[in-house]
Amino acid sequence: MQHVTLNNGVEMPILGFGVYQIPADDTERAVSEALAAGYRLLDTAAAYGNEEAVGRAVKSSGIPRDELFVTTKLWVQDAPAEANTARAFETSLHKLGLDHLDLYLMHQPYGDVYGQWRAMEALHREGRARAIGVANFSPDRLIDLIVNNEVVPAVNQIETHPFFQRADHQDLMREHGVQIQSWGGFAEGRNELFTNPLLGAIGRQHGKSVAQVVLRWLTQRGVVAIPKSVRPERMAENIDIFGFELTDEQMAQITALDTGSSLFFDHHDPEIVTWLARRRLDA
């Protein structure tokens, strides 16, 4: 497994396993199979409702804690944001059955972002979160957070796939020492990704699947990827991407697939902002 080094020196696997939209009843089995397949980076969130299942799989795996990299995410907190962020962190930690997190992300750029971030900075100083970062932050929101706070986010997890490549965002993050991480790396199959003629042709040249080509393209760009699957054979296929390399020409061909637009939702859309900012999780 290849790793990236975050801006505080913490090493993070460049490829991991995500559990978004995996039902809680299926998560423990899926994570156990992913760990057996060799994944060591696990990505969940309070909003996913499956932290406890992830924790059970981690516990039953018998894998030493220092060999795992566990990420979860903070949902938007009501005032007082600092106290509620600390409380939300403890809740996630308890559900996961862990004594620390490797990465704690602010899931959305809404609410009292500064209050939430100050609480996350405190958790980082205490060593309870080895690294802290954000998700879904546009360049302007990311820079605003950086220039007005002490700790630069280690990671920004954003929608990144062949149809929405975010190369300009990645360049900006690199300039400020922020690691880009992809969510939706397969675009959830939209735009007929898995039958795309170009991706299929590139795959055939290497004896690889479209999914493997996409993951190799992401990681070759230095993007951390967290593919999701509930099928063991797909998990094994997705992690088997380090034995080949895309050529410069192939990378350029994939670049031409970029539409420059989200396939899911726009974080600048007032209706989306309202819905996300007002959504609260059950205790």
**Lowest mean per-residue pLDDT among 51-55, 65-69, 161-165, 270-274:** 270-274
Alpha helices in the chain (DSSP H): 24-37, 51-61, 81-96, 113-125, 139-147, 167-176, 197-206, 210-220, 232-239, 248-255, 270-278
Q: What are the distances in angstroms from CA 269 to CA 164, 214, 247, 264?
A: 17, 28, 37, 12
Each residue of 125-153: pLDDT tens digit?
999 999 999 999 999 999 999 999 999 99
Mean pLDDT across 202-224: 98
Q: Is residue 91 part of a domain?
A: yes
Q: Is residue 124 part of a domain?
A: yes
Helix (H, G, I), strand (E, B) or coil at 38: coil
Q: Is residue 208 part of a domain?
A: yes
Distance of alpha carbon 29 from alpha carbon 122, whole angstroms: 34
Both structure tokens of 20: 């978004």
Tell me which of 95 and 24 has the higher pLDDT.
95
pLDDT value at 5 more than 80: yes
Q: Is residue 164 part of a domain?
A: yes
CATH of the domain at 186: 3.20.20.100
Domain count, the chain: 1
Q: Is residue 171 part of a domain?
A: yes
Residue 38 phi/psi, 5-degree rounding, is 115, -5
Domain span including residue 235:
3-278
**Could you check whether the bond before residue 80 is cis, i.e. omega within 30 degrees of 0?**
yes
Residues labelled as active-site residues: 48
Q: What is the pLDDT of residue 244?
A: 98
**Mean pLDDT for the chain overall:** 97
Both structure tokens of 207: 């004896």
pTM of the model: 0.96
Q: Is residue 37 part of a domain?
A: yes
Q: Is residue 210 part of a domain?
A: yes
Each residue of 167-183: pLDDT tens digit?
999 999 999 999 999 99
Q: Is residue 283 part of a domain?
A: no
Mean pLDDT across 180-198: 97
Both structure tokens of 42: 């696990």
Each residue of 43-59: pLDDT tens digit?
999 999 999 999 999 99
Contact 133, 120 (CB under 8 A): no
> Position 152: which residue type?
V
Each residue of 77-129: pLDDT tens digit?
988 999 999 999 999 999 999 999 999 999 999 999 999 999 999 999 999 99
Contact 228, 20 (CB under 8 A): yes
